[in-house]
Amino acid sequence: MPPRTVVIGVDSSTQSTKAAFVDTADGRLLAVGRAPHAVSGTAGARESDPEGWWQALRDAVAAGLAESGAPASAVTGIAIAGQQHGLVVLDRSGRPLRPAMLWNDTRSAPQAAALTEALGGPDAWTARTGSVPVAAVTASKWRWLRENEPDHAAATAAVRLPHDFLTERLAGTAATDPGDASGTGWYSTATGAYDPELLQLLGLDAALLPEVARTGASCVGSLTTEAAEALGLPPTVAVAAGTGDNMSAAVGLGLGGTGLLDHPVLSLGTSGTVFAASRTRPASPALSGFASADGTYLPLACTLNCTLAVDKVAALLGLDRDDTSPGGGAVLLPYLDGERTPDLPAASGLLTGLRHDTTPQQLLGAAYEGAVVTVLRALDELLRACGLDPADPEVAARPLRLIGGGARGRTWVETVQRLSGRPVIVPGCGEPVAMGAAALAAAAATGADPVALAADWRTGEGAQLPPVERDSATWERIGSVLNRASGPLLGGF
């Protein structure tokens, strides 16, 4: 019998790093090492020290290696799946010049609006990049840095995304992939390369950027001597190009060219997202028209306020997160950090419809409903971007895969069922991002197709919950408030 081989899939998210140790033969999850991240900032700022990500990666790998019981010599590959959009600027020695601006940093909203206008409006951007600049997009943050911290911009010797930074620490190679690159605002999904005109508009030298590998599974090298020593692994470990967290989740769920196409996923985490893998290149101003990690496309809509925002409402009310009831006549839009979809970066929370008989449980239920309706409103647009008719009974019957921390919460699942009217699948594997990264690592080490590997590992499978009748009254009530309040009351421009 050949010796067992193991790969490491790393999920470097906003709040923590997870390192999944996976048996390549059958996809069995042997262990998950974890380490936290620090996030700082007020008044729209959200920043982290990239060196903290590197230390968290080292700690998570050490913990996972000890828990897995596998010898270090069994590890053959590693891949990073990172939080998207963050701006990392490095000096000539590869050290961060300042903390990274994270995806949920909203300070660059004015720069996003200016960039949109400078190119000729939303349609001009979607035709080239698939997406319209918002505060989350890296291009907006680079423009903000040039305008607000010109000394840091002038001293920048390299511009990286969070996952690029960690991949370079592992392999010593400046590399990214089409999936994560497509969230920068300077990569064209139409040409599959950096866009020279957009780089000129941004005042960004292409020489500062990493090379774009063919896919997230491309092998970009092996561990450097320094990285091998830091992680306690052999230097022969293959390093994949890696990708963004959403693209990795798609791989982990078996979505892609050799797997499921045009099947929607809803992720409930710090942010709420809906996405699907498709062969149709998306070009809707309402969506992020990303590339995927495997050569297809990944249209996606993202909200800023999801589980953390609802947990904050529960804390303010002094309630357990599942001590809820439907909101009744109350509508609570929990836009506590501004909002990305709809594009309201200066928004704050909005509560309306209070009565004498409104209960705290109903207010918490209304917070869940507001968060879920906000992310589900983009679902029909997502399906249209995939070339599908949302009203087609076959399309409407496709199950909605539910992932993220909220997928383990009873009230989240029930609220999604009630407001979507769709069958719901909660995959048995609770770590689709890390498992997708593991599939990329295994593909880098062996040359296999990562989506096919994940499908063989069956990481996207789970019990299917039947559809329930859609709560149209709640949907329409929240939608009406959103439509009428999106400007002045929610802080829109």
Q: What is the DSSP string of 81-146?
A: EE-SS-BEEE-TTS-BSSPEEPTT--TTHHHHHHHHHHHTSHHHHHHHTSS---TTSHHHHHHHHH
Contact of 259 with 452, CB cutoff 8 Å: yes
As a whole number of angstroms, the distance between CA 194 and CA 428 comes to 38
Contact of 9 with 440, CB cutoff 8 Å: yes
The Cβ-side half-sphere exposure at 201, using a 13 Å CA radius, reads: 21
Please name the residues in contact with 223: beta carbons below 8 A apart, sequence gap of 6 or more.
78, 170, 171, 231, 233, 234, 235, 236, 237, 239
**Helix, strand or coil for residue 487?**
coil
What phi and psi values does residue 127 have, to the nearest 5 degrees? -65, -30
Please name the residues in contact with 356: beta carbons below 8 A apart, sequence gap of 6 or more.
none
Contact of 361 with 323, CB cutoff 8 Å: yes
Residues with catalytic roles: 245
Residue type at 116 in one-letter notation: T
As a whole number of angstroms, the distance between CA 114 and CA 140 comes to 9
According to DSSP, the residues that pair with 175 across neighbouring strands are: 211
Cα–chain-centroid distance for residue 132?
17
The closest alpha carbon to 468, from 426, 427, 428, 413, belongs to 413
* Residue 456 token pair: 């063989």
* Residue 224 token pair: 């450097």
* Residue 169 token pair: 């620490």
Please name the residues in contact with 120: beta carbons below 8 A apart, sequence gap of 6 or more.
none
Please name the residues in contact with 316: beta carbons below 8 A apart, sequence gap of 6 or more.
none
